[in-house]
Structures are given as structure tokens and as C-alpha cells.
Amino acid sequence: MSPNLSLQRKFVSPEIVFGAGCRHSAGNYAKNFGARKVLLVSDPGVVAAGWVADVQASLNRQDIDYHLFTQVSANPRSEEVMLGAEMYRSEGCNVIVAVGGGSPMDCAKGIGIAVAHGRNIVEFEGVDTLRVPSPPLILIPTTAGTSADVSQFVIISNQTERMKFSIVSKGAVPDVSLIDPETTLSMDPFLSACTGIDALVHAIEAFVSTGHGPLTDPHALEAMRLINGHLVEMIANPSDIQLREKIMLGSMQAGLAFSNAILGAVHAMSHSLGGYLDLPHGLCNAVLVEHVVAFNYDSAPDRFKVVAETLGIDSRGLSHRQIRERLMQHLISLKQAIGFRETLGLHGVDLSDIPFLSQHAMQDPCILTNPRSSTQRDVEVVYAEAL
């Protein structure tokens, strides 16, 4: 009897250390990888918050030399990745450590890929394009949202073409992720809202993705429960470390779910939008989420019903149309409770931009696992609704 391949699922994740203070063990992990010199990737904001100094101290305690690279934009660019790769080589590094949000982490992953292959990062767009293992990579996230630290995704901005491209491969999964909720104490309310919505969208899209399965569903559902239950409260009480821990755990679970189930149209459209206007990724997701949920609902009604129930909506006696309405309303109310009242129009998008955005969204790997198969025209309609 031949095995049924459609029911087989693989699950990749890094070695994960979770808990307050674990950033201080970065040096031990670097030492385990035989680090002579570390390329330490971060950005100016994270340096200013003091988290990089903690990691530098932990490298110093192990007598490990390092070179600090902080030339990373909010949406990391291909030329920054190549500059980092150049630094890695000229400084004689053999391990990469990144401290920061999605941008430094994605940049660090890109640097590892470029160094290992000796080619430009733009050549690796797509799925399973990596042929050589990257140098050892240790990631320390300082936001609760992007989950770059546990995922097989790398998202890089190509500013000459005003677009983002995705690299999806198990070769992009870091070796170690040190998830320390204390580092999220320096997030301002806007960043907390952006990254929190990003994580919630990761969980929802992974749960309804055509790539979902029994290995990813429990992570997606628990992430929805944790983020929906605590995000508003965390933003109102930014110094409460217990709440920070719950959101960081939710973000991590969402990351494990989407890294393995992949995502859907919100992310495909959001990557296109973020590349075009250089906007924060979480903001792009927030603008689009309820429009995409409405578009997708009828293609996976039973799964969306579970999403609604997990977000606390009582669906007893309701038709699917009513559940869809309640779910959209819940997402809008949640966004408003954390301060989002954004539309695409507010950010200068107009109708004439939509064909360009839609064309690029259709080329994003995330569109392939969206529960409803979409044409470019479908995507144009959803963008137009979000104006």
C-alpha cells in the first residue's frame, strides 16, 4: 500500500528557550557553536533600549569577539543584507546573533543565506531555493509578533522595484531562538499593537490555510486564545511582565503554526503593500484582515466558525452568515481597542495603485495556501474594499 502523501506533514522549529532573562545566555549558545567571532545584527532603536548591551556582556563573559552591525531599516533591504554579508566575511565571523524585531532577524537570516551561497540575496526568492546550510544563527526577538525567530520565512524589501520578496525554506529556520519577554518592555503602544495584530493574523491564517494539520492547529488555536485574551490588557498595562509573557508565548505559538502551515491572502497582500509603501507590516495586516476574512469565509466556514468561537464569539443558533458578521465585527472592535482606525486611503493608496499591488500579491507564496483560490481580480476587489 502506498502512503497517502497528502496526509503527511512535517514540522520544523529551532531549539527554543522561553523565559524572562534568557537573552543573557546568548554567549553560552554562541560558544556551543564554536564561535570565534560573532556578527551581532540589530538596529539603532534596539541598541538604545539596552538589549544589545546585555547580549554583548554575555558574549564578553565567554571571551567571544563580535562585530556590531546595525544598518537595518524597518523593512530590511536587499542591499543591507549584502552589506552585512560583506561585514561577516571581512570581519572573519563564524556565527550570527540577531537582537530585535522582525527586521534585524530577517536581515540576519538573509546575511546567513548570502554568506553560505556566495550570491546575492535577491536570487533566493521563492520556496526551497536554499542549497547550503547557513552559519549558526541565534535569534533574540524584542517584539511579540513577527516570529521570524521560529519560522522558515525571510522577508526582504527590494526598494528598487518597490516590492518585498519571500524566501521560504527549512534552511531559513534559525538554530536557536532565545525568547525573552523582558525585551518586549521597550515596545511603544503602536509597535505592540502592530506586532500583536500580526501574530493574531498569523494564527488565524495558519488555522484556515490549506496547509494546516494536526501538528499546527493546536498552536494556532492557543495563539488566538492568548492574544485575543490579553493584547488589549497588555497595551494598557505595558509594564506587566506576566501579560508580556502571555503575548510573547502567543506570538511564538502563532509562529510555529504559520511557519509550518504557511499563511494566506492577508500576508500576500500585506507583503505587496509593505514593499510598495514601506509601511509597518503589522499595520498592513490590520488594514486588510477583516476584508480577507470576509472574502475567505465561505471557502472554510467550519474552520472560521472555530476561529470565531476561539475568539469568544457565541455561535449557538447562528447561521454562517451571522457568524461571519460577528467575526468581522470582533476583529474591527479589537483593532479599535488597541488604537487602529487605519484604511489604505489614509496611507496614500488610491485605485490606480491596486493593479500593481495585486500583481505582486499574486506572486507571493502565501497566496498558494489561502483557503479560497484567488484571481488577480479577486485581490483587486479586496484591496479596493480596504481603501
pLDDT tens per residue across all 387 residues of the chain:
555 556 788 899 999 999 999 999 999 999 999 999 999 999 999 999 999 999 999 999 999 999 999 999 999 999 999 999 999 999 999 999 999 999 999 999 999 999 999 999 999 999 999 999 999 999 999 999 999 999 999 999 999 999 999 999 999 999 999 999 999 999 999 999 999 999 999 999 999 999 999 999 999 999 999 999 999 999 999 999 999 999 999 999 999 999 999 999 999 999 999 999 999 999 999 999 999 999 999 999 999 999 999 999 999 999 999 999 999 999 999 999 999 988 999 998 999 999 999 999 999 999 999 999 999 999 999 999 999
In a domain, 4, yes or no: no
Tell whether 89 and 206 lie within a shared domain.
Answer: no
Q: Choose one of 184, 212, 241: the last residue of a domain.
A: 184
Residues 175, 283, single domain; the answer is no
Cell 503589522, located at residue: 282
Write down the pLDDT at residue 85: 98
Place of cell 531559513: 172
What whole-number distance in Å separates Cα of residue 275 and Cα of residue 189? 23
Query: What strand order describes the sheet that includes 126-127?
Result: 126-127, 163-168, 153-158
| Residue 15, SS3 per DSSP | strand
Domains identified in the chain, total number: 2
In this structure, the answer to whether residues 213 and 297 fall within a common structural domain is: yes
pTM of the entire structure? 0.96
* Per-residue confidence (pLDDT) for residue 221, from 0 to 100: 98
Domain's final residue, options 139, 166, 184: 184
| Separation in Å, CA 71 to CA 44, 91, 246, 296, 302 | 8, 16, 31, 39, 46
- The pLDDT assigned to 6 comes to 60
Domain assignment present for 1: no
Any idea what DSSP says for residue 21? Answer: T
State the cell numbers at 112: 546567513
What pLDDT does residue 341 have?
A: 87
Q: Establish if 302 belongs to a structural domain.
A: yes
Contacts of residue 183, defined as CB under 8 A and 6 or more positions apart, other chains included, come to: 23, 49, 51, 99, 140, 141, 142
Q: How many CB atoms lie within 10 A of CB 296?
A: 24
Same domain, 150 and 245: no
* One-letter amino acid of 264: G
Q: Do 119 and 234 share a structural domain?
A: no
> Is 139 in the same domain as 160?
yes
Domain contains 15 = yes
Is residue 3 situated within a structural domain?
A: no
Task: Locate 200 and state its grid cell.
Answer: 493574531
- Geometric angle at alpha carbon 368, from 363 and 374, rounded to 5°: 80
Do 36 and 160 lie in a common domain?
yes
Q: What is the CATH number of the domain that holds 49?
A: 3.40.50.1970
Same domain, 45 and 145: yes
**Residues 29 and 148 reside in one and the same domain:** yes
Residues 193 and 122 in one domain: no
- Enclosing domain of residue 205: 187-386
Of 184, 210, 241, the domain-final residue? 184
Question: Helix or strand or coil: residue 96?
Answer: strand
Query: Is 149 found in the same domain as 268?
Result: no
Across 89-109, b (16+ Cβ under 10 Å) vs e yields eeeebbbbbbbbbbbbbbbbb
